[in-house]
Chains A and B, each alone.
Chain A
Amino acid sequence: MFKGWILFLFILGYLGVLFIIAYIAERREKSGRSIVSNPYVYSLSLAVYCTSWTFYGSVGRAATSGFSFLTIYLGPTLMAALWAVLLKKIIRIAKQNRITTISDFIGVRYGNSLFLSAFVTIVAVVGITPYLGLQIKAIISTLTILAGQTKGMAAAGWYITLILGVFAIIFGARRLDSSERHEGLIFAIAFESLIKLVAFLMVGLYVTYYLFDGFGDIFDRIKDSEFGGLLFLGTGTQVSYTEWASLLFLSMTAIMFLPRQFHVAVVENSDISHVSKAMWLFPLYLLLINIFVMPLAFGGLLLGGSQADADIFMLTIPLGQGNLLIALLTFIGGFAAATGMIIVESLALSTMVMNNLIMPTVYRFAEKKLFEVIYPVFIINIKRLVIMGCIAFGYFFAVSVGEFYSLVDIGLKSFEAMTIFAPSIILGLYWKRGNKKGALAGIMAGFIIWFYTLIVPAMLKAGIIDEHGYFSMLINSEILNPHALFGLKGLDRWSHSLFWGLFFNLFFYISLSIFTKQDSEEERQSLIFVDSYTPQALPARADYTLQEIEAVLEQYLGKREAREIIDSFLMKNRLTRNSLAARELAMVRDEALRILSGALGSAIATIILEDKLLITEKERGELSDSIRQMTDTLRLSRQELEEANRSLAYLKEFSENIIESAPVGIVTVDAHRHITYWNREMEKMTQISKPETANRPVLSLLPWIPADTFEKNGQREMELQTPLQQSFKINISPFTDPSGGFVVIFEDVTEKKKMEEQLVQAVKLASIGKLTAGISHEIGNPLASISSLVQELRDLPVEACSEKTFFSESLLTINSHIERIARIVRSLGDFARISTREKTLSNLPEILERTINLVRYDKRFKHIDLKTEIGEVPLLKVNPDQLQQVFLNLILNAFDVMQDGGTLAVSMRQLDGFIEIGFRDTGPGIDSSVIDKIFDPFFTTKPLGRGTGLGLSICYGIIREHSGTITVKSEKGAGTAFYIRLPAD
């Protein structure tokens, strides 16, 4: 037997070693040479699953129920096969969402529900604390056995519990960040796993091969003993098949969802690939630690131990043989198994309680300002208190209730509790429709069933509650009997509880999920979990600084801690403080968020960090709304722009079209007087094509424009005559554009000028015609008087003969002159009286013949050769007298100019649409300087007194009256030709 204090020192020594190992691991981590981040340590840390229950309880169960103990290890082994799918998915999601506990996991999955997390936390605490207590009970009872006395052992247990609490605080809660991995802690746990395995194997080897002759010996002997039934399963044995199956299922869920398993497997996982190796390393560990369970159990029985004390065979066998060393080794192994579990479990529970119960409460009820001020000191200490509280709670459970139950019993109750989470988690990972209401109802239902069917009977048994009154009636009723709920009998209590628990859990979860709707956050979270969907966040903003991030961390973690975190993160990622790219800054921010999430729970951390640094969800919504609006506006503007562009192109084409189609020449010149534009009309007018003009000096192309035209500013107009007898009206306006240049508009006014001249002529003739009436009358009257007198004189008898002759001759002369005057007056009168009223259908050739006949036999013209060439023409509606006048005028004119003889050719023919009558003489021709004037009234080339100057003018008037034209072609010395054209309609 050991002295109590020696054992205590031994324990302290062991814990000291643990401290040193953890410390070394932490140092290595900080220097970047982790000894923890590998699949072996990971697998060993998973072995925290094997608690004192495994170490002592398996042997106890094997001794009482045979192989049924194996279910607890076969379950995880089966589960390990699913890890590649299930565990990896959980790890991935947890890492992405900075999830640190099983309660966070469920809460986040179902729409970030704080309430659900809180409820899960309560269930976990209630479910797990007995398990914690179980470990403490194991430590106390083994100490008692080793020391051989019970005195002071409860106190020793208490101290050891406290020390474990301190250990958990130092390596698990020295800093606030629970999302960060705790390499020191994990390495210590792995070390403990190794210790318990070695210890168990040593004891197993000692019993099997030292006390007995190996497996065969032990199994043969037990088969022949009264305990032979332990080697069989099924009817007639202690373990039914249903129980076997139920236990398998319980342990399968336990390995996944026990808070400490979640912690080591998910939170402390440094590399997801480690899972692959752990998938066979962990089952191997379980195999090794179970190899000697049966031999030890049977050995204990064969050596005379009772089934009731089987839980402590591990210690009683070596003690019974007096082998204190082996006993001590056993104790250390058992202690390692218990402490590992206590440390990790208390840490996991405290994180849950902190993040899901205390932090939200503090955050909700404390003033935010106050919260920020007190936080760094306050919160970390609360967390430490919670760890201690969890352990203390376990301790009190151990010393009060624990005594009434075996290790396995207490452990299985916890396992049962963990199955409550199974539907929500597993279905939640693969079924998108699973919603918050379903999860909450399911978990509540499961918890109620668990509590009623397992805890209430336990409490009854422990005497904590009494059966009396209505409660007694309830418990003993047919339907609500906690051992046979709804009349379901024949099941062991584990299967019974599991069946009803899962039944109601699944029923509520599935039915509520189907019949109620998810809100948008639940939908998003379910997408994240089920489809491993990563929401497309806005690109990380870079308008926060490293200092701001650090300041936020300082507020919650303390100045030194914050700086340390930032520095180590920067160092790990080979970044320097002063040269962070936006992406790297975003990494730092994410790290800060991760760390704060670890400390405060992801919900609170997100609130704080986003409040401090980042845009809130609402703002993000508003921002993306406004971005969408901007994009819409941009798209609209782009459409408008395109439309405007099209309109512009159309407008350009349109205006170019206008310029090109304009009936005036348009030319633009630049400041250097070079042509930049030349339109189609310009091409037509000048016969210079557009390409020839490009960039040519305007003055070289149009040399008839005065050189100084473009020297002056301001708009001007001028009229110019080209060498080709074209008349142009030119408008020059300078561009308003400061770069200079001019727009020049050319208008061809050649035709217009001609018409103007003709108009002037016509007006002149018309006015003369009007005057003539008056003139004719005024001249006529005196002429009439003279004439009358002269006639009188002529008829008077004259006395002297000589006088008489002179008198009468003079009178004759007077009279002849008067006749001439009278002729003039008559001509003028005729001219004035031109009228179209007297037109009749006439035969033009006949009129012409008649006129010719008037002069043909005149003796004065006998030396002129008159040729006629008169063709067939249709009848025309004309004034025959007037036309005769015209013909006569032209013929007489010709005769006049050919005093010395010549030829007059008269022709008449029908051309296209008109009738042409020509009079071509062989006279001296008309001087080109006067040819424009021959149709003017009073213009004559004849010697003074020989012509009236009205003949051609009258002809012109008559022909115009007939809508025809009269033109003249003449060349000096080559005769003159007149052509009359009358329309032939």
Chain B
Amino acid sequence: MSIMNEKILIVEDEDTLCESLQRVLRREGYEVDIADSAETAVRLLEQYSYDLIITDIILPGISGIELIARYREQKPGQKVVIMTAYASLETAVEALKVGALDFIVKPVIHDEIKRIVKKALGH
């Protein structure tokens, strides 16, 4: 399918969900890293760069929104998709404000996430 391995970072404190989504997206041919908090994500982002970041909003420490906001100051072109437990207009607006391309409502439908990721990466 895709020749170049596009890199994705998933930030999610729910480990099961996080690993599951890692497997699903790897199977799709993406190179996927995971972080269980915003702080872990920041460390990874200091070493690597990713084509897409998928982040939950509610995290143990710094919120996903804040993480994105800060990182996009560093790297304004960073593609981001927000993941949230309930979909509301406020969440969507917030996500869009920090530069999210899309948002995924939990529970995550795999087909949906695949489609959104593909779309986000511009395929």
A contact set with B: CB distance below 8 Å? 776-777, 780-789, 791-792, 795, 818, 822, 825-826, 829, 833
Which B residues lie within 8 Å of A826 (CB)? 86
A789-B20 in contact given A776-B85, A777-B85, A780-B106 (Cβ < 8 Å): yes
Across the A-B interface, the 10 shortest Cβ-Cβ residue pairs: A787-B107, A780-B85, A784-B106, A785-B17, A784-B107, A785-B16, A788-B20, A791-B110, A829-B86, A777-B85
Cross-chain contact of A787 among B23, B58, B86, B108 (Cβ < 8 A): B108
Residues of A within 8 A of B85 (CB): 776-777, 780-781, 784
Is A788 a contact of B86 with CB atoms below 8 Å?
Answer: no
Known: A776-B85, A784-B14. 16 other contacts (CB 8 A): A780-B85, A780-B86, A780-B106, A780-B107, A784-B107, A785-B14, A785-B17, A785-B20, A785-B107, A786-B107, A788-B17, A788-B108, A792-B20, A792-B23, A826-B86, A833-B88
CA gap between A781 and B21 in the complex, in Å: 13
B42 touches A (CB below 8 Å) = no
Closest CB of chain A to B11's CB: distance in Å? 14
- Complex Cα gap A786–B16 (Å): 8
Cα-based distance from A777 to B14 in the complex (angstroms): 12
Alpha-carbon distance between A523 and B23 when the two chains are bound, in angstroms: 142
Q: List 30 contacting pairs A-B, 8 Å CB cutoff, sorted by A.
A: A776-B86, A777-B85, A777-B86, A780-B85, A780-B106, A781-B17, A782-B14, A783-B106, A784-B14, A784-B85, A784-B106, A785-B14, A785-B17, A785-B20, A786-B107, A787-B108, A788-B16, A788-B17, A788-B21, A788-B24, A788-B108, A788-B110, A789-B16, A789-B20, A792-B20, A792-B110, A795-B110, A822-B107, A829-B86, A833-B88
Query: Which partner residue on chain B sits nearest A838 by CB separation?
Result: B89
Q: Which residue of chain B has the shortest Cβ distance to A791 in the bound complex? A: B110
CA distance in complex: A789, B14 (Å): 12
Smallest beta-carbon distance A739→chain B, Å: 73
Number of A-B contacts (CB under 8 A): 57
User: Which residues of chain B have a CB within 8 Å of any CB of chain A?
Assistant: 14, 16-17, 20-21, 23-24, 58, 85-86, 88, 106-110
Residues in B whose Cβ lies below 8 Å from that of A791: 24, 109-110
A783, B107: Cβ atoms closer than 8 Å: yes
Which of B16, B85, B108, B109 is most buried by chain A, counting CB atoms within 10 A of its CB?
B85
Output the nearest chain B residue to A833 by Cβ-Cβ distance: B88
- Cα distance, A792 to B27, chains bound together (Å): 11
A781, B109: Cβ atoms under 8 Å?
no
Q: Nearest chain B CB to A743's CB is how many angstroms away?
A: 59
Which residues from A are CB-within-8-Å of B109?
A: 787, 791
Q: Which residue of B lies closest to A832 (CB)?
A: B86
Q: Known interface pairs A777-B58, A792-B20, A792-B23. Does A784 touch B108 (Cβ–Cβ under 8 Å)?
A: yes
Provide the residues of chain B in CB contact with A785, threshold 8 Å.
14, 16-17, 20, 107
Q: What residues of chain B lie closer than 8 Å to A781, measured between beta carbons? A: 14, 17, 85, 106
Minimum C-beta distance from A794 to chain B (A): 9
CA separation between A776 and B87, bound complex, in Å?
11
CB neighbours (8 Å) of B88 from chain A are 829, 833
Q: In the complex, what distance in Å separates the CA atom of A788 from the CA atom of B24?
A: 9
Smallest CB gap from A772: residue in B: B86
Q: Which residues of B contact A825 (CB under 8 A)?
A: 86
Report B-chain residues with C-beta under 8 Å of the C-beta of A789. 16, 20
Set of chain B residues within 8 Å of A784, measured between Cβ atoms? 14, 17, 85, 106-108
List the B residue with the shortest CB-CB distance to A781.
B14
Residues of B within 8 A of A777 (CB): 58, 85-86
CA distance A629 to B109 in the complex (A): 111
Nearest A residue to B86 via CB reads A829
| Shortest distance from the beta carbon of A824 to any chain B beta carbon, whole Å | 12
A792, B107: Cβ atoms closer than 8 Å: no
Which residues of B are found within 8 Å of A788, using beta-carbon distances? 16-17, 20-21, 24, 107-108, 110
